[in-house]
Amino acid sequence: MGATLDLSHKNSGTVPPASGVATPADAPASKINLMGLTREGMAQALRDFGLPEKQIRMRVGQLWNAIYHHGLSDFAEMTTLSKEARAKLAEAFVIARPEIVVEQKSTDGTRKWLLRLPSDKPGLPGPEVEAVYIPEEGRGTLCVSSQVGCTLTCTFCHTGTQKLVRNLTAGEIIGQIMIARDALGEWPHSGRNSSDRLLTNIVMMGMGEPLYNFDNVRDALDIVSDGEGLSLSKRRITLSTSGVVPEIVRAGEEIGSMLAISLHAVNDETRNKLVPLNKKYPIAELLEACRNYPGLSNARRITFEYVMLKGVNDSLADAKELVRLLKGIPAKINLIPFNPWPGTDYECSDWATIEKFADVVNRAGYASPVRTPRGRDIMAACGQLKSDTVKARASDRFKTEKAEASETI
Ligand code: SAH
Ligand code: SF4
């Protein structure tokens, strides 16, 4: 407690940013963000800063606990460190979350945050992503983004119409969870005990394809599940992929979270249209990779997501084929009503059709498969993330342009 930070080996005042490490929009670029560094990464950053080897383990432990267990972002509040150590660390490091641009709360309790990330282009605002919190009976799930935009072009997904801007760093992925815990008042100093947590589950189902940002997603989820940090078990974390086959087994080995597959069709012809990545990794290969997913058992099933699109993939024959295809794989099926977005040609299947489809699936032994849309009033549903903001901005711009035009007339 309070041991002094020995800085006698300290090199020149500031340190250059480690590659891939985010600094907040308003922080000097020379400061390193500790959030999102692995324990080894943090140890190396302290070593580079000049901390003697014998202190590193202890300092990493103290910082880790302060950042992830207590949710602190200001060194001045870290009373386990000496005053001198706090001041020195603050010269070189920051603990930064993404900037909150807007927070919205739905009438059903769903919350959505529009977050701005640090800009790579001087003078221009940084890119934006969204995170969504969905409270349910006895649990609360945070839907986290892994990329700004997406390289894949699934035809029913609005993110798919937005070009990939960049991958999120591990710190930016974790930052979404930190922001949700801040808002929910879930740190020890807020008095809530850990047994009645509001944020109990994480789904990597926001913007982007997590397996195309593998290393950062892996590092972030390792930190999230670290028992001395956020301490959320990997069994409560689900990674959703559109089917990047070569990375699926690797995800099982290196990430070890629960897996969700965006299947959405039962034959290659339809899936090629909905999820063009299918042309590269067709259904048979995808399901083979699922069968080989490490640790699979009846207690650890793969979730197959299936978006209900009117007249495209919602026939009874499709439902029967779905059940046939998944035979032998410990599986859950999640039927997702399609969330329309401006400009899409797809429509959501009728409710009666969804129910008939669900009956077939239920009779085959898969329970409660329809995912109810949440947070509709704030457009917080799958595949709608960010799009409303872009749209709102466009309409704001239109209003401004109209106002300016009328002034000049
Ligand atoms: N890229 C990953 C994770 C993000 S998408 C993936 O594709 O799995 C999360 C889920 O939302 C996926 O199952 C995706 O297919 C689904 N989705 C995308 N757009 C949707 C929409 N408009 N309506 C309903 N679900 C949608
Ligand atoms: Fe990307 Fe997933 Fe949307 Fe497909 S569904 S475009 S993989 S975010």
Q: What is the CATH number of the domain that holds 260?
A: 3.20.20.70
Q: Are 46 and 176 within one domain? A: no
Indicate which atom in ligand 1 lies nearest the CA of residue 262: 13
Q: Is residue 208 in contact with ligand 2, taking CB distance under 6 Å?
A: yes
Q: What is the CATH number of the domain that holds 65?
A: 1.10.150.530
Q: Are 131 and 90 within one domain? A: no
Distance 149 CA to ligand 2 centre (A): 9
Share of the chain above pLDDT 90, in %: 72
Is 187 inside a domain boundary? yes
Distance 156 CA to ligand 2 centre (A): 9
Q: Are 29 and 88 within one domain? A: yes
The pLDDT of residue 318: 98
Q: Is residue 209 in contact with ligand 2, taking CB distance under 6 Å?
A: yes
96, 130, 163: which is the final residue of a domain?
96
The pLDDT of residue 193: 66
Mean of the per-residue pLDDT values for the chain? 85
Q: Is residue 305 in contact with ligand 2, taking CB distance under 6 Å?
A: no
Q: Are 206 and 305 within one domain? A: yes
The pLDDT of residue 391: 45
Is 66 inside a domain boundary? yes
pLDDT of residue 15 exceeding 60: no
Is 35 inside a domain boundary? yes
Shortest-distance Cα residue to atom 17 of ligand 1: 383
Q: Are 251 and 114 within one domain? A: yes
Q: Are 147 and 224 within one domain? A: yes
Q: What is the pLDDT of residues 284-328, one digit of tens each?
A: 999 999 999 998 999 899 999 999 999 999 999 999 999 999 999
Which pLDDT band holds residue 283 (cuts at 50, 70, 90)? Answer: very high
CB 203 within 8 A of CB 141: yes
The pLDDT of residue 3: 33
pLDDT of residue 83 exceeding 80: yes
pLDDT of residue 98 exceeding 90: yes
Pairing type for strands 139-143 and 237-241 reads unpaired
Is 271 inside a domain boundary? yes
Mean pLDDT computed over 361-381: 74
Q: Which of 13-17, 140-144, 236-240, 300-304 has the lowest mean pLDDT?
A: 13-17
Which residue range(s) make up the domain with 81?
A: 1-96
The pLDDT of residue 229: 85
Mean pLDDT computed over 141-160: 93
Distance 300 CA to ligand 2 centre (A): 24
8/284: higher pLDDT: 284
Give residues (CB < 6 A) around ligand 1.
154, 156-157, 205, 209, 240-242, 262, 305, 307, 336, 338-339, 341, 382-383
Pocket test for ligand 2, best of 130, 132, 152, 153 (most atoms within 8 A of CB): 152
Which pLDDT band holds residue 367 (cuts at 50, 70, 90)? Answer: confident
Q: Are 144 and 71 within one domain? A: no
Q: Are 18 and 154 within one domain? A: no
Shortest-distance Cα residue to atom 5 of ligand 1: 205
Q: Domain count of the chain?
A: 2
The type of residue at 259 is: L
Burial of 192 (0-12, 13-18, 19+ CB in 10 A): middle
Distance 24 CA to ligand 1 centre (A): 29
**DSSP 8-state secondary structure symbol assigned to residue 371:** P
The pLDDT of residue 162: 84
Mean pLDDT computed over 351-356: 94
Indicate which atom in ligand 2 lies nearest the CA of residue 207: 8
Is 406 inside a domain boundary? no
Q: Are 147 and 222 within one domain? A: yes
CB 105 within 8 A of CB 44: no
User: Whose atoms come closest to the Cα of 150: which ligand?
Assistant: 2
Q: What is the pLDDT of residues 175-184, one digit of tens each?
A: 999 999 999 9
The pLDDT of residue 369: 62
Distance 151 CA to ligand 1 centre (A): 14
96, 116, 139: which is the final residue of a domain?
96
Q: Is residue 322 in contact with ligand 2, taking CB distance under 6 Å?
A: no
Indicate which atom in ligand 1 lies nearest the CA of residue 348: 23
Q: What six digits make up the tokens of 352?
A: 């009666």
Q: Are 209 and 324 within one domain? A: yes
Contacts with 370 (C-beta within 8 Å, 6 or more apart), sequence order? 334, 335, 336, 337, 354, 358
Residues of 309-343 as b/e, b for ≥16 C-beta within 10 angstroms?
beebbbeeebbebbbebbeebebbbbbbbbbbbee
Rounded to an integer, what distance in angstroms lies between the CA atom of residue 210 and that of residue 186?
Answer: 26
User: Whose atoms come closest to the Cα of 305: which ligand?
Assistant: 1
pLDDT of residue 359 exceeding 60: yes
Is 36 inside a domain boundary? yes
User: Whose atoms come closest to the Cα of 160: which ligand?
Assistant: 2
The residues assigned a catalytic role are 130, 382
Distance 157 CA to ligand 1 centre (A): 6
Q: What is the pLDDT of residues 193-243, one digit of tens each?
A: 666 789 999 999 999 999 999 999 999 999 999 999 899 999 999 999 999
Residue listed under structure tokens 């002094």: 4
Mean pLDDT computed over 143-168: 92
pTM: 0.87
pLDDT of residue 167 exceeding 70: yes
96, 131, 149: which is the final residue of a domain?
96
The pLDDT of residue 19: 36
Share of the chain above pLDDT 70, in %: 82
The pLDDT of residue 142: 96
Pocket test for ligand 2, best of 158, 209, 239, 334 (most atoms within 8 A of CB): 209
Burial of 1 (0-12, 13-18, 19+ CB in 10 A): exposed
Q: Are 303 and 207 within one domain? A: yes
Distance 79 CA to ligand 2 centre (A): 44
Pocket test for ligand 2, best of 145, 262, 336 (most atoms within 8 A of CB): 262
Q: Is residue 154 in contact with ligand 2, taking CB distance under 6 Å?
A: yes
Burial of 272 (0-12, 13-18, 19+ CB in 10 A): middle
Is 407 inside a domain boundary? no
The pLDDT of residue 52: 93
Is 409 inside a domain boundary? no
The pLDDT of residue 27: 47
CB 379 within 8 A of CB 388: yes
The pLDDT of residue 26: 45
Q: Are 91 and 106 within one domain? A: no
H helices present in 142-299, as ranges: 170-184, 214-225, 245-254, 268-274, 283-291
Pairing type for strands 111-116 and 128-136 reads antiparallel
Other C-beta atoms closer than 10 Å to the C-beta of 69 total 16
User: Whose atoms come closest to the Cα of 210: which ligand?
Assistant: 1
pLDDT of residue 24 exceeding 80: no
